[in-house]
Amino acid sequence: MITFDLVNRYSSEFLKGTWEEKVKSNCSKEIKRARFQGNLLCENIIIYNDPMDMESTSIPYIFDGVNWNKSLNGDPEWIFMLSRHRRVKTF
For residue range 4-20, list pLDDT tens digits in order: 788 778 777 777 767 77
Spell 58-67 as b/e; 16+ CB within 10 A means b: eeebeeeeee
* Greater pLDDT, 43 or 87: 43
pTM of structure: 0.55
What's the whole-number average pLDDT of the chain? 77
- pLDDT at site 7: 77
Closest CA to 65 of 32, 91, 30: 91
Helices 19-26 and 28-42 pack at an angle, to 10 degrees, of 80
32-51 tens-digit pLDDT: 888 888 888 888 888 888 77
